[in-house]
Amino acid sequence: MLLYVFYILSAITLGTAFLTVISKNAIHSAIYLVVCFFSLAGHYLLFNAQFLAVVHIIVYAGAIMVLLLFTLMLMNLNNEDETSKPLYTKFAAVISAGLLCLVLIAALRKALPENIEYVNSGTDFQSIKVLGKVLLNEYAVPFEFASVLLLVSMIGAVLISKKEEKI
Amino acid sequence: MNILETVGINNYIMLSALLFCIGAFGLLYRRNAIIMFMSIEIMLNAVNLLLVAFSSYHEDPSGQVFVFFTMAVAAAEVAVGLAILVSVFRNIGNIDIDNLKNLKG
Amino acid sequence: MSTLIAIVGIGIFCLLAEIMNLRKIIIPVTIVSLMALFGLTLTGNLPEIKGYESMIVMDSYGKIFSCLFILLTALLVLQSAPSYVKGTKVSDFISIKVFMLSGAVAMVTFTNMAMFFLGIEVLSIGLYVLAGSDRLNIKSNEAGMKYFLMGSFASGILLFGIAMLYGATGAFDVATLQEASISASTEYWFYIGVILITIGMLFKVAATPMHFWAPDVYEGSPTQVTAMMSTLAKVTAMASFFKLITILNSQMLYSYTEVIIVVTIATMLFGNIMALRQKKIKRVLAYSGVSHTGFMLLTLLNINEAQNNLLFYATSYAIAGLAAFSVVLFVIKNEDNDQIDNFNGLAKKSPLMAFIMTIALLSMAGIPILAGFFAKFFLLSQIITSGFIGLAIVAIINSMIAVFYYFKVIVAMYTKEAEYEKEYANHSEYYIVGIVAAILLLVIGLFPDALMNLL
Amino acid sequence: MNTTILLLLFAPLVGFLINIFFGKSLGKTVSGVIGTATVFISFLCTLCLFSQINSGAETIKFHLADWFTVGSIKVNFSFLLDQLSVLWLLFVTGIGTLIHLYSISYMHDDENMHKFFSYLNLFVFFMIALVAGSNLLIMFIGWEGVGLCSYLLIGFWYKNQDYNDAAKKAFIMNRIGDLGFLIGIFILGYTFNTLEFLEIKSLLGKDVISPSLLSIAALCLFIGACGKSAQLPLSTWLPDAMAGPTPVSALIHAATMVTAGIFMVTRMNFLFDLTPDVQNVIAIVGTITAVVAASIGLVQNDIKKVLAYSTVSQLGLMFLALGLGAYEVAVFHVITHAFFKACLFLGSGSVIHALHGEQDMRNMGGLRKVMPITFWTMMISTLAISGIFPFSGFWSKDEILMTAFHANIPLWVIGSIASIMTAFYMFRLMYLTFFNDFRGTEEQKHHLHESPALITVPLIILGTLAAVGGVISLPGNSWLNHYMAPLFAHKAHGEHHLDSQAYMLMAIATIGALVGIGIAYSMYLKKKQVPVADNEVQGLHKVLSNKYYLDEIYMAIIVKPLYAISTFAKNFIEKYLSKTVFGFGSATYALSIQGKRIQNGNIGVYLFAFILGICGFLIYLFNIRN
Amino acid sequence: MNISIVLIVLLVGAIATYVSGNKLASKIALLTSIAAFGATLYALNAFNGGENLDVNTIWINRPAVNFALHVDGLSMAMLLLTTGLLPLIIASGFVTKFENEKAIYALMLFMGFAMAGTFLAADGFLYYIFWEIALIPIYFIALKWGNGDIEARKKAILKFFIYTFAGSLFMLLAFIYLYTKGGSFDINKLYALQLNSTEKTYIFFAFFLAYAIKIPVVPFHTWQANTYSKAPGVGTMLLSGIMLKMGLYSVLRWQLPLSDSAAKEYMPIIVALSIAGIIYGAVVTLKQKNIKKLLAYSSLSHVGLIAAGLYSLTIEGFQGAVLQMLSHGLVIVGLFYVVELIYNRYHTYEIKEMGGIRIQDTYFASLFMIIMLASVALPTTFNFIGEFNLLYSLFKVNMWYAIIAGTTIILGAFYMLRMFQKVMLGGETKSFQKISKQESIVLVIIVVVTIFFGLFPQPIIDLIEPSLQSILTQIK
C-alpha cells in the first residue's frame, strides 16, 4: 500500500518538476512547482515528519512561490517571451543533464548496497518537541546564525532595490 | 511502521537524485531567469528530501533540523535573486538570461 | 565564538548607526573595531565563550585565518569608503561586508557542517548582493545574475554532498565525519558526498572547469566589490576548502589526488593563458586570481604539512590583490572603463601609485624578495618534497607565463603616455591601503618567518 | 750589462711613447730625429752585445719580471741573447736606423709624421721582443706586436679604404698563422711544462716524446711562420701590404718582420731537427712559394709589387734552406736579402718620391740620368739579388742552391728556375724604370730630381752592404757558420768544400742569372717593349698577372661562403631560432584566443562546462576506478 | 669589518641617490660607486691579510636560510669587477641626458647591489634572491631609458626578462630539490650532499638552463642581441659587463660542484656546445649592420669561450675563465661606451652611417683601437692572458677543441677590424665633434687597467687560484 503511495507521489513529484522546467509559460511552471512542493510534503508525511511537512508547505508553497508568482505578475511575464534558442543549445542541455543523471545514478548505484537494512527502533526523533530541543540547544548557534543570513539577504534585497540618494 | 521499511532508502536516494538532475536540467535548458530560479528550488528540495530520508534512516533529528536551515537559505537566495532579477528587468526590460552577454572574453 | 559574536555585533552596530543618524562614524568605527578585534583575536585576549564547541571551535587554524580575514575586511572597508561615503547606503554596504566577514570566520572555525553551510551562504549571498549592487549598471546586474545562478547551483551541489555525508554517517559534526573518513567501515557513498563537496568548493574558489563565472563577475561588479571577491572571498573559500579536505579526506585516495592534480594544472594554465590577451585590468586580475587558485590548490596534495603554505600564499596573494585594487580604484575612478590603457603614464602622474602597483604585480609574479616569491617558493618546496616534480615544472611554466601579463601593466605604467588628460580618484584611502599593503608585502618578504611561524 | 739590455729593449718603446704623446707638439723633424735616435741607441747596444758574444762570451739570460702562470707553467718576461738573437738584432736595428733616417725625409710631407715614427719605433720594439725573447710567449708578444704595427703602417693612409682592406687582410692572415703558432705553443707547453727555449731544448734530448705530437707541434709552428713570412697558402697579404709607405715596405715587409718566420724556425731548430717530415714540408712549401711568387713577379707592373713578389720568392728560398736543415744558410740569405731588398725598396721609394706617388713602371723610364745615386745603388742590389758574382746575393743564394742540390735535385731545379726568373724580373724592373725614355706626364718630367741626402745616404750604405755583404760567409771560410755553430746540434750544412762540383753549380747559377738578364735585356731594352695595359693581357700572362687567381679563390672558397653563412645565420637561423624558442609563447598566445571563444559570456556554456566537470569527476572516481 | 659593508654602501647609496633628486643624483651615484669600490679594495686588503670577512646570520628558520656571505678569491675578484665597473658605467652615463635621472642612477646602484650580492652569497636561497632581483632594475632601465621604437623595445625586453626568469626558475627548482635532500641551503652543506648520478644529471641541467640563458650559450642566446640593442648604453654595459658574468660565476660556484659527476659526464657535449657558440657568434657577427648587435654577438662568441673553459673542468680553464670574465667585462664596457659616444654625435647605431671618425678625432680613435685590439686578445692586454688560459685548457681536453675554438682569434680579428674600419676609418663623411677630456676618462681608465693587468696579471691569478683549486677539488 505505502509502496504504491510512494510510487504515485514520486511520479507526481518528478512529473511536475519536469513540467515545471519545460513549461513555456512561467505561470504554468509556477503552478506545477506548487504541485511538486505539495507532493514533496506528501513524502514528508510518509516519513511521519508532520512538522516538517507543514513548514515546508508554509515556506515553499506559501512564501517562496508567492514571491515568485508576485514577481512574475509584477513583471507581467505570464506570456511566453523567452527568445527561441538554437537547437544545439537545447540538445547540449539535454545531453549534459542526461549525462549528469546517468553518472550520478550510476555512481550512487555503485556506492549503495542492494538492500540497506533498516531497523525501526521506535525512538521519537522527529516530533516537534525533539526537533525544538535539538534546534535550540545543539543547533542554537546555526539557528542564530541563520538570522544573520536572513538579515544579509534582507539588507541585500533592499540595497539592490532601493534608489540611491546622494547626500 | 515506517515508510523506509516498505520502500527502502535506495529508492529515496534515487528519487532525490532524479529530482536534482531535473533541477539541473532546467537550469541548463531554460533561459528564463524565473524558471531557472525554480529549477534551483527544485534542486534544493531534492536535497531536503534526501535529508529527511536520511534523518528517518538514522532516526536522527539533526537531518530535519538541517532542512530548516536549507529552507532559510532557499528563502534568502530567492529574495536576493529576485531583487537582482528585478533590477535586471528594470534595465533591459526582460528576464532572458541570453541577453546578458556583455561580459565575456 | 566570541570573535563571531563581535563581528556580528559590529555589523549590527552599522545598521543601528544608520537609524541613529550616525552615518559618518560607521566606517571609522568599523575599521577601528575590526582592528581591535584583529589584535584581540590574534593575541588570544578575547574572552572565550564556552559551550558551543560542537558548532565552532577557534583552533589555531581558525584563529589565524580569522585574523587574516578581519585584517582584509578592515582594509577592504577602508578601501571602499570613498565609493560609499557619498551615498545613503553606506550602512547597508558596510554591514553586509561585516556580516560576510562573519560568514568567512564561520567557514574556517566550524565544527558542524550546518555552520559551514550557513557561513558559506552568508558569504555568497553577500557577494551576490554586492556584485549586483550597482543597480543601474547593466554590467553589474549581469554580474550579480550570473554569480547568483551559478553560485546557487554550486550551493545545491554542495548541499547534496553534505546530505550524502549525513546519509553515510548520520551526523553533521566534524569529529564524526573525520572519524568516518578514516574508518574502514564507512559507507562508500560517503565519498560521493566528498566529491560533490569538492566540486562545490572548486566552484567557490573558481577552479577550472568551474571558474567561468569568475572573470565575468569580477569584471561586472563594482571595483571595490571585485577587490573583495578576489581577496577575501577567494582566500576564505580556499581556507575552508582546505579545512574540509582535512576533515573529509585526510587519507586521500590516489585517484582523488590525481583529479586534484589535473584540476590544479588546468586551473593554472587556464587562468594564465586566458589572462594573456585581456585588455581590461579587472579581467586580468580575475584570471590571475584563477591561476593563483591553481597554486593554492597545490596545498591540498599535502594536507598534513601545507597549512602554513596555504596561509602564506593566501596572505601574500590577498595583500597583493588589495594593493593592486587600490591602484585600480585610483586609476579607473568611477568610470565604467577599466582598460589597461588607463594605466598609461601613471608612473609620471603618480609615481607612488605606480610603484605600489609594481610591487603588487611583482609579488604576484613571484619575484624575490616580495611575499609572493616566498609563497611560491614554499609551495614548490612542498610539492617537490612530496615528489611531484612534474607538477613543480608545470607550476614554474605558469609563473613564466604570468610574468607576461603582469608586465604588460607595468609597461603601460612606465613607458606609455596617457592619450588624454586623465583624472584619478585622489582619495587618501587608496593611498593608505596601497601603502600598507605594499609595506606588508615587503615586510613579509623580508621576514617570512614571522608569518610562517603563526601556524 | 743589464743596463745595456734594458736600453736595447726599451729605447724604441720610449721613442714610441714620446712620439705618440708629444710628437705633434715636437714638430716633424724632432720627432723623426727622436725616432731614429732611439733605434740607433738600440743598435749601439746591440753592437756592444755583439762584440761580447762574438768574442765568445756566455749566452745572456735576462730576467725582467714574472708575467703569469698557466697551470704549472710559469711564463716570465725574460730575454735570451745568444748568437742568433744578437745577430738578428744587429741587422734589425741597423737597417731600422737607416730606414728611420730615410723616413725623416721621405715622410716629411705627411701631417702624421710623428705617428709614423711612433709606429715604426713600436715596431722595432716588438721586433726586438720577438727576437730577444727567451720563451715562446715573449716571442708571441713580439710576433703579434709586429703584426699590429704592420697593420697600423699598412693602413697608415687610412683615408683610403683599399689600404685599410690591405691592412686588415695582413692582420687576419697573420692571425691564421698565429693560431697555428698558438697551438704549437700549447703542445710544447703541455708536453714540457715550460715555454723557455733552452729548457725545451734540454728536455727534448732527455724525455721520450711521441714523435707524432712533436711533428704536429712543429707543423703548427711552421703554419705560424707561413703566416708571418708570407708562404703559400698564406702569401697573398704581402703584395697587398705594399699599400703602406715605402719605408714600411722596406723595413717590415722586406727586411725584418717577414723574416720572423725564418727566425722562429731557426730558433726552434732543435725541434725541427727531430721532425724530418715537417722539414720536408717546409722545403717543399718554400720551393713552391719561391717559384710561384717569382712567376707572378714576372708580369707585375707596380714597382713595389714586383719587389713584394720577389720578397715572397726569396723567403721561399730561405724556407727551402730551413727545410733542408741548413739554418745558417737561411740566416745568411736573410741578412743579405735584408741589405739588398731594403736597398731596392728604398730605391723604389726614392723613385716614387721623385714621381710624386707614381708606382706603375709603365709610366716611368729613363730615370737613370736624373737619379744617378738611386740608379746605381739599385743596380748593385739588383745584381745582388740576381745572384751575380761577387755581390752578396750570389754567395747566399748559391749556398742555398748548393744545399738543395746535395739534398734533393728536383728542389734544386725548381729553386734555380725561381732564381732565373728573379734575374729576369729584376732587370725588367731596372730597364723599365731607369732606361729608355721617360713615359710619364710632362708635369712629372718637369719635377724629376734626385732625392735629398737623407734618402740617398741610406741607399748608399745599403747598396754597399748589398755589394759586399757576402763576405760574412764565403764558401770554405765562413765566419757566419763558425759564429752560429753553438746554436746547432749538428755539423753545419753550409760548410761545402770548394770542389769542382761547387764551382760548376756556381757557374750554372750565374749562367742562369745571365740568361734571365739577357731575356729582359732583349725584351725591354732592345725592343723597348712596354707591358700592355691590364685588360689586354691574355693566356698564361693573364693568369700570372692575376696572381694565379689566389685572391679570387680565397674569396670564393673562404670569404664568400663565410659571408653567406653569416647572412644565412643572421637572417635565417637567428630568426627561426627566436621563433622556435618563442613558439611556446606564440602557442600559448594562440590558445588564449581559443579560450576567449569559450568564455563567450553565455551562462549556458559555463553551466555546461560545470556539469561536464562534475560528470568527469564522478566518472573518473567512481565508474572507472574502483 | 665584514663584506656586507659593500652591499650596504650600494643599497644605501641607491636610496640616497633616489632621494637626492635629479640634480644631484648622478654625482651621488658616482660617489657611492666609488665608495663601494673603495670598500671593496679595503676588503681586498683585509682579505689578503687573512682576515675573515664572512657574514653568517640566521634569516629564515623555516626553511633554514642564512644570510651568509662568503669571501674567497673568486668572489673577491668578481666583486672587484662589479664595484670597479660600476663607477665607470655610471660615469659613462654622464654623456647621456636621462630624464628622471634619480631613478636610473638609483636603479643602477641597486642592480650593482644585487649583482654584488650574487657574487658573495654563500647560501643557495640568498643567492637565488640576489640573482633574481638583479633582473628587475635592468628590466626597468632597458624599458624606460632604452632606445628605438617603444613597441619593439617592450617586446625585446620582456622576452629577455621572461627568458631569463624562466631559466632561473628551473634553478630554483633544483635548489629546492637540493634543500629537500639536505635540509639546508648552505653552500658547504650542499657541496657535501650525497646524490646519485641521475639526480646530479637533473640538477646539472636545471642549473645549466638557467646559466645557459644568462650567459648565454647557443642556442639560448636569442634574447641577447635584441636586448643589447634596445637597452640604453649604461644598461647594455651592466648587462654585458657584469650580468653575463653572474651566469659564468654561478657555473663555477654552484653548478659544477653540485653536479660533479654529471659535469664530468656531459663535459664533451657542453664544451662542444660552447665552442659552437664561439664560432656561431663570430660568424653571425660578421654581417651585423647595427653596431650594438655586432658587439652583442661578439660578446656571445667571447662568453662561449669562457663557458667552454669553465666546462672543461681544468684549472687553466677556470683560471682563464675568471680572468677573461674580468677582462671581457672591462673591454665590453669600453666598447659599448665608445658606441654610446658615437651615438651621441651621430644618433644612429647603423654602421653604414658611420665612418671617417679617425681623421677627425685621432685621440678617440686610438683609445677605441686599443680597446678593440684588447678585445681580439692582443698579447700584453689583459684579454690575452685569459684567452691563452682558456684555449690552453681546451687544448688539454682535446686538441681539436682548441683548434676550433682558436678560430675565434681569426674570426674575432676579422669582425672587429672590419667594424673598426667601417666605423672609424676612411675619409671624412660626417662631422664628428671631438670627445672631451671628461668623456675620455672612462676609456683611459679602461685602457690603462687592461694593459696593466695584461702585463701584471699575477696578483689576480694569485688571488683567485686557491679558491679555484678548492672548487676543482670539490669536483674531482
Q: What is the DSSP letter of D380?
A: H
Q: Is the peptide bond before C47 cis (omega within 30 degrees of 0)?
A: no
* Least confident interval from D430-439, D491-500, E45-54: D491-500
Using CB atoms, pick whichever of B24, B28, B103 lies closest to residue D601. Answer: B103
Using pLDDT thresholds of 50, 70 and 90, give the confidence band for residue C326: very high
Task: Give the pLDDT confidence score for residue D626 in this predicted structure.
Answer: 47
pTM of the model as a whole: 0.90
| φ and ψ at residue D133, rounded to 5 degrees | -60, 145
- Going from N- to C-terminal start, the domains of chain D cover 333-545, 554-624
CATH number of A1-79: 1.20.120.1200
pLDDT digits (tens, 9 = 90+) for D567-624: 888 888 888 888 887 787 788 888 888 888 888 888 888 888 899 898 888 888 876 5
Burial (CB count within 10 angstroms: exposed 0-12, middle 13-18, buried 19+), residue C263: buried
Written as nine digits, the cell of C302 is 599535502
What are the residues whose beta carbons fall under 8 Å from the beta carbon of B82, sequence distance 6 or more?
Answer: A67, A68, A71, A157, B37
3-state SS of chain A: helix, strand, coil percent to 5? 75, 0, 25
Residue A151 reports pLDDT greater than 60: yes
Question: What is the total residue count of chain E?
Answer: 476
Distance CA D509, CA D518 (A): 14
Using pLDDT thresholds of 50, 70 and 90, give the confidence band for residue C290: very high
Best residue in C373, C384, C413 for a mutation probing chain E (most E CBs within 10 Å): C384
pLDDT digits (tens, 9 = 90+) for C181-209: 888 777 778 888 888 999 999 999 999 88
Q: Determine which helix (DSSP H) or strand (DSSP E) holds D73, and give its type and residue range.
A: strand D73-81
User: pLDDT tens digits, chain E, 476 residues: what are they?
Assistant: 788 888 999 999 999 999 988 888 888 999 999 999 999 999 999 988 888 888 889 888 877 888 999 898 899 999 999 999 999 999 888 888 888 888 899 999 999 999 999 999 999 999 999 998 898 899 988 888 888 888 888 888 888 888 888 888 889 988 888 888 888 888 888 888 888 888 889 899 999 989 999 888 888 888 888 888 888 888 999 999 899 899 999 998 898 888 888 888 888 999 999 999 899 989 988 888 888 889 999 999 999 999 999 898 888 899 999 999 999 999 999 999 999 888 888 888 888 888 888 888 888 888 999 999 999 888 888 999 899 999 999 998 888 898 899 888 889 888 998 888 888 888 777 888 888 888 888 899 999 999 999 888 888 888 888 898 998 888 87
SS (H, E, C) D187-250: HHHHHHCCCEHHHHHHHHHHCCCCHHHHHHHHHHHHHHHHHHCCCCCCCCHHHHHHHCCHHHHH
- Specify the 3-state DSSP secondary structure of C173: strand
- Specify the 3-state DSSP secondary structure of C69: helix
Q: Is the peptide bond before D452 cis (omega within 30 degrees of 0)?
A: no
Task: Give the pLDDT confidence score for residue D435 in this predicted structure.
Answer: 81
DSSP C294-342: HHHHGGGGGTTTTHHHHHHHHHHHHHHHHHHHHHHHHHHTT-S--BGGG
Architecture of domain B32-94: Orthogonal Bundle (1.10)
User: Which pairing describes strands D473-474 and D477-478: parallel, antiparallel, or unpaired?
Assistant: antiparallel
Distance CA E303, CA E245 (A): 9
For chain A, helix (H) and strand (E) counts, in that order, are 7, 0
Q: Nearest to residue D393, comparing CAs of D430, D456, D429, D344? A: D344
Most distant CA atoms of chain E, gap in Å: 68
CA distance D582 to chain B (A): 24
| Residue E139 with chain C: CB contacts under 8 Å | 407
Chain C: partners with 3+ C-beta pairs within 8 Å? A, B, D, E
C-beta separation of C274 from D595 below 8 A: yes
| φ and ψ at residue C56, rounded to 5 degrees | -140, 130
For chain C, what is the mean pLDDT?
89
User: Which pairing describes strands D73-81 and D473-474: parallel, antiparallel, or unpaired?
Assistant: unpaired
Using pLDDT thresholds of 50, 70 and 90, give the confidence band for residue D498: low
Q: Determine which helix (DSSP H) or strand (DSSP E) holds D70, and give its type and residue range.
A: strand D60-70
CA distance E115 to chain C (A): 14
What are the residues whose beta carbons fall under 8 Å from the beta carbon of D388, sequence distance 6 or more?
Answer: D394, D510, D513, D514
Mean pLDDT of B37-54: 92
CA distance A144 to chain B (A): 10
Buried b (16+ CB within 10 A) or exposed e, E454-471: bbbbbebbebbbebbeeb
Query: Hey, are the CB atoms on C118 and A146 less than 8 Å from each other?
Result: yes
Distance CA E266, CA D517 (A): 67
| Residue D68 with chain E: CB contacts under 8 Å | 385, 457-458, 461
Task: Give the pLDDT confidence score for residue C231 in this predicted structure.
Answer: 93
Percent of chain D surpassing pLDDT 90: 0
Mean pLDDT of A128-150: 90
Q: What is the DSSP letter of D599?
A: -
Q: Nearest to residue B11, comparing CAs of B53, B67, B62? A: B53
Q: Nearest to residue A89, comparing CAs of D378, E252, D603, D76? A: D603
Q: What is the DSSP letter of A83?
A: P
- Going from N- to C-terminal start, the domains of chain A cover 1-79, 125-167
- Size of the B and C interface in Cβ pairs below 8 Å: 128
Distance CA D365, CA D371 (A): 11
What are the residues whose beta carbons fall under 8 Å from the beta carbon of E209, sequence distance 6 or more?
Answer: E167, E170, E171, E220
C-beta separation of C10 from C34 below 8 A: yes
Query: Hey, are the CB atoms on C191 and A161 less than 8 Å from each other?
Result: no
Using CB atoms, pick whichever of C195, C198, C210 lies closest to residue D610. Answer: C210
CA C283 to chain centre: 16
Q: Which amino acid is at E161?
A: F
Distance CA D303, CA A63 (A): 119
pLDDT digits (tens, 9 = 90+) for C399-420: 888 888 898 888 888 888 877 7
Find where cell 563565472 sits: C213
Q: Say how many CA atoms lie within 13 Å of D522 toward its Cβ.
A: 5
Using pLDDT thresholds of 50, 70 and 90, give the confidence band for residue A156: very high
- Closest chain D residue to A93, measured at CA: D608
| Residue C144 with chain B: CB contacts under 8 Å | 84, 87-88
C-beta separation of D404 from D324 below 8 A: yes
Using CB atoms, pick whichever of D593, D601, D617 lies closest to residue C277. Answer: D593
DSSP E306-355: HHHHHHTT-HHHHHHHHHHHHHHHHHHHHHHHHHHHHHHHH---BGGG--
Task: Give the pLDDT confidence score for residue D24 in this predicted structure.
Answer: 81
For helices C254-276 and C389-415, give the axis angle rounded to 10 degrees: 20
C-beta separation of E160 from E142 below 8 A: yes
Distance CA C172, CA B66 (A): 9
Written as nine digits, the cell of E229 is 640593442
Task: Give the pLDDT confidence score for residue C113 in this predicted structure.
Answer: 92
Task: Give the pLDDT confidence score for residue A82 in this predicted structure.
Answer: 60
Task: Give the pLDDT confidence score for residue D497 in this predicted structure.
Answer: 62
- Specify the 3-state DSSP secondary structure of E425: coil
Task: Give the pLDDT confidence score for residue A83 in this predicted structure.
Answer: 62
| Residue A21 with chain D: CB contacts under 8 Å | none
| φ and ψ at residue D67, rounded to 5 degrees | -110, -80
Using pLDDT thresholds of 50, 70 and 90, give the confidence band for residue A77: low
CA D536 to chain centre: 32
* Least confident interval from B94-103, D494-503, E181-190: D494-503
Task: Give the pLDDT confidence score for residue E35 in this predicted structure.
Answer: 92
Query: Hey, are the CB atoms on C270 and D595 less than 8 Å from each other?
Result: yes
Task: Give the pLDDT confidence score for residue C205 in this predicted structure.
Answer: 92
Task: Give a yes or no: residue E228 inside a domain.
Answer: no
C-beta separation of D236 from D551 below 8 A: yes
For chain A, what is the mean pLDDT?
85
Q: Determine which helix (DSSP H) or strand (DSSP E) holds D61, and give its type and residue range.
A: strand D60-70
Total domain count, chain E: 1
Using pLDDT thresholds of 50, 70 and 90, give the confidence band for residue D207: low
CA distances from D343 to D170, D384, D453, D516, E191 (A): 23, 11, 15, 21, 69
Chain D: partners with 3+ C-beta pairs within 8 Å? A, B, C, E
* Least confident interval from B82-91, C258-267, D2-11: D2-11
CA distance A8 to chain C (A): 24
Residue A4 reports pLDDT greater than 60: yes
Query: Hey, are the CB atoms on E287 and D140 less than 8 Å from each other?
Result: no
DSSP D145-176: HHHHHHHHHHTTSTTSHHHHHHHHHHHHHHHH
Distance CA D302, CA D300 (A): 6
pLDDT digits (tens, 9 = 90+) for D249-299: 888 888 888 888 889 888 888 888 888 888 888 888 888 888 888 888 888
Using pLDDT thresholds of 50, 70 and 90, give the confidence band for residue A80: low
CA E143 to chain centre: 20
Residue D448 reports pLDDT greater than 80: no
pLDDT digits (tens, 9 = 90+) for B3-34: 777 888 888 888 999 999 999 999 888 888 88
Distance CA D322, CA D311 (A): 16
Q: Nearest to residue C91, comparing CAs of C30, C140, C5, C182? A: C30
DSSP B34-65: HHHHHHHHHHHHHHHHHHHHHHHHHT-THHHH
